[in-house]
Amino acid sequence: MIEKENKVLIQTEGLEKIFSLKGGAKLHAVDGIDLKILKGETLGVVGESGCGKSTLGRSILRLIEPTGGKIFYDGKDITKIKGGEMRELRRNIQIIFQDPYASIDPRKSVIEAIAEYMIIQKTYKSKKEIFNRAAELMDLVGLAIRYANLYPHELDGGRRQRIGIARALSLNPNFIVCDEPVSALDVSIQAQILNLLMDLQDALGLTYMFVTHDLSVVKHISDNIMVMYLGKCVEHTSSDELFENPLHPYTKALLSAIPKLDLDARSKQIKLIQGEVSSPINVKPGCRFAKRCEHCEGRCLEENPPYREATPGHFVACFKVAEGGKILY
């Protein structure tokens, strides 16, 4: 097991991704995100569908070009690098997609799919070496060698996702964005894939950004958790702290919706989020969550709440949370 380092591997400053729509409208998918991920750690990014989680991950990897802010990898600004320099960086930063079937060429066999990135990057002198490495990766992720010449449609979802993981590992990256990697899988298979990801992290010293809408999953795998709402980070702290002491009303509502195996909890009502979702198009000043927040007051609709450290290591964007983490609602 490789111990975690107290060194920042990934950092963003004011990262933005704004999509231009017809008629000059602007969709704010990612809006001013500041984050740091230490080497060997997992940052979980949670929120409802459409909040900007996947766009954030892909912007950090430069699969989608950001429209503002900066991205740093191991202290180096990678926001504008291009060509051969970007190609070299691709070896170090990878992604595991939500739908492995859609991200794998159906015309390639399992071993060809795993070897694909190594062939593109010319990591070995001969194809024999590449395919030998692909066979090693199959073993590493728990895929029997008998599946090597099968095609993706002949395998179940769990095995297809193992292909995606092996392919992401093929270039020996340091950082991997896991974009909803278990959301399309059965619960029993989810546990197998999560355990595999954690075992690989321990063995190889990997750093993850784990994107999901499932808080019970993110608690299982993450060191720190960032909660997003309509492109904004509303809360960010350690996994244990978030579940024990959530501060933002949106985070509290998400946590209350997690199913509990507790007979006493059956009598308690789930905290439903009422109101209309604000539009991320041509956004106006004010808290993005204000229209759905039962504690909303006048300034919440007119001013952007400051994103600040309420208690050591616990950041929140809410007018109703005072210094020291005191909740004013």
Q: Which of the two residues, 156 and 4, has the higher pLDDT score?
A: 156
> Across the strands, what pairs with 93?
175
Yes or no: say if 279 and 256 are a contact pair by the CB < 8 Å rule. Answer: no
Helices (H), 177-327: 187-204, 215-221, 239-244, 249-256, 298-302
Give the pLDDT mean for 111-124: 95
Yes or no: say if 213 and 44 are a contact pair by the CB < 8 Å rule. Answer: no
Domain boundaries of the chain, sorted by first residue = 8-92+173-245
What's 306's DSSP letter?
P
What's 260's DSSP letter?
-
Token representation of residue 10: 């990934």
Q: How confident is the model at residue 265 (pLDDT cuts 50, 70, 90)?
A: low
**pLDDT value of residue 101:** 81
> Across the strands, what pairs with 70?
13
**pLDDT value of residue 3:** 60
Closest by CA position to 53, among listed 180, 243, 182, 194: 180
Token representation of residue 114: 């795993």
Closest by CA position to 305, among listed 246, 255, 232, 221: 232
Tens digits of residue pLDDT in 293-329: 989 999 999 999 999 999 999 999 999 998 787 887 7
Give the pLDDT mean for 18-47: 95
Dist CA 116 CA 98 (whole Å)? 19
**Architecture category of domain 8-92+173-245 in CATH:** 3-Layer(aba) Sandwich (3.40)
Q: How far is CA 74 from CA 132, 209, 280, 281, 294, in A?
A: 30, 15, 32, 33, 41
Q: How confident is the model at residue 269 (pLDDT cuts 50, 70, 90)?
A: low
Yes or no: say if 207 and 42 are a contact pair by the CB < 8 Å rule. Answer: yes
Dist CA 283 CA 272 (whole Å)? 24
Tens digits of residue pLDDT in 53-73: 999 999 999 999 999 999 999
Tens digits of residue pLDDT in 239-258: 999 999 999 999 999 998 77
What's 110's DSSP letter?
H
Dist CA 297 CA 290 (whole Å)? 8
Dist CA 249 CA 272 (whole Å)? 11
By three-state DSSP, how is residue 173 classified? coil
Dist CA 243 CA 225 (whole Å)? 10
Give the pLDDT mean for 108-113: 96
* Measured CA angle at 36 (ends 45, 179), to 5 deg: 30
Tens digits of residue pLDDT in 185-233: 888 889 999 999 999 999 999 999 999 998 888 998 999 999 999 999 9
Dist CA 236 CA 263 (whole Å)? 31
Does 266 have pLDDT greater than 90?
no
Tens digits of residue pLDDT in 184-193: 788 888 999 9
Tens digits of residue pLDDT in 68-89: 999 999 999 999 999 999 999 9
Does 142 have pLDDT greater than 90?
yes
Give the pLDDT mean for 9-27: 95
